[in-house]
Amino acid sequence: MEGCKEAATPISNSYNLDLDEKGITVDNSKYRGIIGSLLYLTASRPDIMFFVSLCARFQSNPKESHMKSVKRILKYLRTTTNVGLWYPKGVSLSLIGYSDSNYAGCRLDRKSTSGTCHLLGSGLVSWHSKKQACVALSTVEAEYIAASSYCAQILWMKQQLKEYGTELNKIPLRCDNTRAINLTKNPILHSRTKHIEIRHHFLRDRVQKNDCVVEFVEINKQLADIFTKPLPKERFNQLRIELGIINKSCLN
């Protein structure tokens, strides 16, 4: 891949992977090896997190179409070798999170994908992209489950910061679904929400205890969007910069 062509994004925003049962099978050990290396790289390159997780779903029986998508990620990395996380000094220790979901985004089982990220000051310190365990019956449920996973992470980070002498309460969680936000503020379990698993409702308990507060954010300012779905080049580059994943040449 050293002499490969450049790629502006890890995957085309109009491309969706499936099982491709009629496709030509490739060496699964080689495929898994590439996926393992890319998963290791996501510790410093959050911009490829969703795409690597997407390709990792086909490790049991990879096809040529899946290998083509993996090579697209390698082309993107080849193009952006100078890109990485930037942590400026002298920023305040204010914690803020973003939560988003791609409703029924998986073509195989129609499960949604949760995406969350957390910024300490202006530095990205935690990110998450994972297919949800159950099929959400509405966009509200998908967003609510994504926010619930964020809340679990924020409680752990809150405890870690407390050990360093920083006490935080009412940590903002920004979500772009007003109905999901209203659900976190209502302690009453209505019949329309009884299908949502009880384990996700602990989010409401934490909101009541002022551990976090769920706020509305416009879709065009939703930073977690990059962890849930393929995006156009302009939108992808915009979110990458806002998350602090920048080219080091821009710092000079």
Q: What is the pTM of this model?
A: 0.86
How far is Cα 31 from Cα 62, in angstroms, rounded to an integer? 7
Q: Which amino acid is at 40?
A: Y
Pairing status of strand 171-175 against strand 212-216: parallel
The CATH 3.30.420.10 portion of the chain extends over 95-242
How far is Cα 89 from Cα 112, in angstroms, rounded to an integer? 37
How far is Cα 52 from Cα 34, in angstroms, rounded to an integer? 10
Non-local CB neighbours of 165 within 8 Å, separated by 6+ positions: none
Provide the residue-wise pLDDT of the chain in tens; the chain has 252 residues.
Answer: 878 888 999 988 777 788 888 999 999 999 999 999 999 999 999 999 999 999 999 999 999 999 999 999 999 999 998 999 988 887 778 889 999 999 988 888 889 999 999 998 888 999 989 998 888 888 888 888 888 877 878 888 888 888 888 888 888 989 998 888 887 777 555 545 555 655 555 667 677 677 788 889 999 999 999 999 999 999 999 999 999 998 877 666
Asked if residue 238 lies in contact with residue 19, where contact means CB atoms within 8 angstroms, the answer is no
CATH 1.10.10.60 fits 95-242, yes or no: no
Q: Which amino acid is at 105?
A: G
